[in-house]
Amino acid sequence: MRYVIAFSSPKRSFLTVEMAAKQAKALGAEIILLRVIPDANKVGIVAELISSDRPVDKATSQINEVVAKLTAQGIKASGIVKVGEVAKTIVQSAIDLKADLLFVGTTSVGGQSFFLMGKDPIVHYLVDHSPISLCLVRHDSGEGEAGEAELDSDL
């Protein structure tokens, strides 16, 4: 089995990585962390003018750190950083990687009547367009901060 995790940072993706790691360990699945950096050329002229390789370098460093922790737990893990339209690139990458399951973190919807509407357009897009089964991992505000300390010790 192959799991792809839509990764944003060690802090923000902690619960998603933790959930996928538990499943991967139990089932002997491989984990691929996928970080998609928005394409500065498509975001706007200001973003294009100030763009650099720094976001890609930082994302690569963060992914390598989490991959090392997963590997230390005996989980086969790797990471990829891509530049593009975030939601579309996540879907296409999961297809290209032949993922069996796509793990995605969601945010708290605080008072909205429908689970994914409005607050999380990327997750909403993935629910509507991904041919890969999704595991949505709810991230309520504040949980990532406590989880980061655990990430260092558990992963």
CATH of the domain at 90: 3.40.50.620
The C-alpha atoms of residue 16 and residue 153 are separated, in whole angstroms, by 16
Condensed to tens digits (0 to 9), the pLDDT of residues 67-116 reads 999 999 999 999 999 999 999 999 999 999 999 999 999 875 555 544 54
Q: What is the mean pLDDT of residues 119-148?
A: 77
Q: Is 34 among the domain residues?
A: yes
CB 130 within 8 A of CB 44: no
| Residue 116: inside a domain | yes
**Domain assignment of residue 73, yes or no:** yes
Q: Which two tokens stand for residue 141?
A: 């505000």
**Is 104 within the bounds of a domain?**
yes
Range of the domain at 28: 2-150
The 10s digit of each residue's pLDDT in 111-133 is: 554 454 456 788 889 999 999 99
- The structure's pTM equals 0.80
Token duo for residue 38: 């928005």
What are the start-end ranges of the H helices in 40-120? 40-43, 45-50, 54-72, 86-96
Tell me if 80 is assigned to some domain: yes
Apex 61 CA angle, 49 and 68, nearest 5: 160
Does some domain include residue 119?
yes
Q: What is the number of structural domains in the chain?
A: 1
In a domain, residue 155? The reply is no
